[in-house]
Structure 1
Amino acid sequence: MTDSTALDDRLRLLSFATAEKRLDYLRVLRAFDHARTGYVVLLHAGDVADILARTDTGDVLTAAEIGPLLDQLHTWGVLERSYDGSRAATLAEYRNRHYVYQFGQVGYHAYRAVEDVVAARPDDASLSRLALPELLADLEGLAAANRAGDADLVHRKLVRLDAALNDLATRAAHFYLSLGDLVRTTDVTPEAFLAHKDALLAHMREFSSDLARYAPKLTAAIEAVERTGLDALLDRAADSDERVFLARADRRADRAARWAGLVHWFSADDGTAEVDRLRDGTMSAITAVLALLRRVTESRRTGVSRESQLRHLAGWFAAAPTEDAAHALFDATFGLGRPRHLSMAHPDAELIPDHRSWWDAPPVEIARTLAETGRAPAAGAPARVHRNDAGMRRLRERQLDAQRRRADAATALGDGGVDGRVLGPEETEVLLSLLDAALGARVPVTGRIRSTTGTEGATSLTLAPCEHSTVVRTHRGTLHLDKLAVTVTRRTGTRR
């Protein structure tokens, strides 16, 4: 069975909730659920009719009417069906085959899901403040049980912790969802909100205070449990887990994942613990309620509220003389304009032909001018060139001054040479540039490098092999040229 087929079979379990006789199907399934409380599992159509006659106040359903309902529920997979020949009193009844029905495993979950949706009340949302001390007590008991090696108690404590944490998270999510609806909706009356605002704010503040007080204790309790040996704890929990259809490795992996989730809730290493998010969400909810209280108070004092504003705006729409005036009022109120339709061809017509729908074609980049104004972008007039003559003059003077200093340094280097003197900054720069040019030209052709020359204007530098090394002293340090003779030459003379 593929994943899609299995998913389709599971979704078919909920077909009774949308069928034409959904209320009758729900009454029949409630009869099965009522029988489960008395430890009765298998029911015949007549048994269902008797239970409905005692417990249900709706229209009477006979066994003949209930039979097709049971068969359809069996077709959907909600009920399992088996044959019970012991009910046959005559041969004819035996040949007619009496069936008994019971909940399937996933069928019961489908029924309970529908019942939870039917029984859900949006006004019973609350934060589970009492779950925090229970979590702390269970963690302390878990540490003691793990130290004592009591595998059954370890398993029970982990199950309790998982159930308590799920209840805490579910209640918090439900509460803040309901609170968000309360803040956004216009159905609640100011009188109803003002009557419950004190209890609502006190409830959230107490929960936030308990959360701040218990969070460090819970983190310390989790660390105490892990110090007793996490691997041993998971092994003991897997050994006492009674889910026989799961292998031991799977049971241990499931408990390890649940414990990791518990640790992440209260003591995440990266600073994103869920308890911190829950505390921040509580403070944000208190701020939202106070803002709503301020709006309600102002509306009661001034007589202007969101509802009155919307009613006044609706009167303007109703009194608009023409449809164009109503559209103009809509645009001015909500800031929404008509959609702008663009038409353009893709540069690669073979990749995206013109007849291809925009729903299927990949997006095309368009110019901002076209998107904002609907007009194609144009090159326009060339922009004015701004000249900075003063800046250019200063740069030119700086360039000429640098060239003069470099020429003077080259002349001084050619006149004084490199022996028995310390070269200044400009002379050192000229020498290094000449060495770079000379060394770059030292390409062996016949196996021996005779001499190379680098030039700097009227000054030239020649490198020739020799038996000793040349030492050049500069203001930045001493330069050693191994087995090379350096000769600096000017047009008017030569210096070594």
Structure 2
Amino acid sequence: MTTQPAQPGRFGAAEPASYGPFAHLTVPNTGLYRQVMGVFMVAKERFAVHLRPEEVYAALAPEHRPAGPDAVAKALDSLVEWGNLRADPDTSRVTAVEDFYRKRFIYQLTRAGEAAEQALSAYDEALGRRGALQAVALHDIVTQLQALLVLAAGQEEGEPDGAKVHLALSALTSRFEALAENARAFMGSLQRTIDLHGVEVEVFLAYKDRLIQYLERFIQDLITLGGRIARLIGELEEQGRAGVLLRLAAVREAGDAAPDEAETAQARAHERWAAKWEGLSAWFVSADGRESQARLLRGRALGAIPQLLAVVRQLNERRAGRSDRSADFRTLARWFAEAPDDEARHRLWRAAFGLYPARHLTVGADTLEERAARPVAASTPWAEAEPLRISPQLRRTGSYERRGRPRRVQDRSGHRLRLAEIAARQAEEIAAARTRLAAGGTARLSALGELDPVSFGLFLGLLGDALAAWRPGVTTTVTTSNDGTMEIRLTALDDGRRAEIRTPGGVFQGPDHTVEITDLTRSSPVREPR
């Protein structure tokens, strides 16, 4: 097989003139060709250069091995013709002059064949990838953002170290890209699971509980850490700190470029880093009426749980033998197809749907007396039956009832004004409660004093989020509210004291802790990473 030299493509790169190494995908015995190429890829990993036909035959799995070595030899010759392999004369086992005239070859991968196999492996991996919701990646992103915040805070003392900035940004973007890609793959596989595409029913019923628990844990971590990540991103974007860090990373990345290309390389690197940072910000921060991808992912994951439960309920109903409308219609369609003639199909239609010929629109005393005196069979055609007298009003309006004046449209403006006043009052109460809780700084729970119902409800929600984020072995936890506007830092105490918070509804009691509540809608100082 001959190939033409590569020609420059429309993007400036060379484009191959032939895709011969992929020809074995569109011919008979594709499975054998793929298995043979797999043997050569495994041999390459073991640093084996050449393989003989009998070695390839022995390396094939028993279920994929053909009846004899001749089929493998023919497959090797075809792969040589397509450019996947290269054949060289095998002279190492020649013991007589006659052996020179026998067809003996050893085979090895070509660059084109190896590239084709790598592409096919990447294709198979992408199709089979299920992905995962990586809660650990969220913690890593928080850690890297806090490290960048510390580096940015050191700008007052001098320019941050470009190497440290580049490493931190590289680690941050790597974890974020893995999180986004795995989340996309996982949600796609989750939807296929909900639709039961390629999923066995018994397998689905066996692991559905673990899947739901997995979703609930990720949603909890996303709620807990999503607000912190959004807050850290906002602090880095204040006063152009993020722009300085991206510029330093671009300078570091373009440090090895040639002198005449340094400026261009730095501009391209800065453009790439800016695009990655913009993608990270859009993933966690909502802006300009656009919801963040994290919020959309949380909503999609929350919506998947009732969908999974609905699928389980439907499967259980089918297994319990309850009525299934789709199964009933399929059975009815089969009966129609098996009916011997049209008359039988009409009888089946009337029996299934109860659509019998109508003989009158209304029945009065006169009609009943007349039918009793002169019965009319149900099979009597309309053309041969006695005509029916219809009221002119029914013919004109379609109803015997006289239509009166329509009801007056009720004025709801007063109710809407009342609802607006209630919403404004509730917003004021929540703002006052937010100010009340955030004004105390770091204090004990026992020192909070008496709380009104609104303040206590807000405090109870924050305390519940903090306790949900508590991990064994830690003494301090920090979390944010669901909307990302409040942050609570809760620290356990070992003095054995108990706290009491009085409310109009009773007394709230529990072990005493130190608590610090921060209103994130206001500016806050930079904190060291924990």
Q: Please report the TM-score for the alignment, with normalisation by the length of structure 1.
A: 0.50
Q: Quick check: which has more Rg, 1 or 2?
A: 1
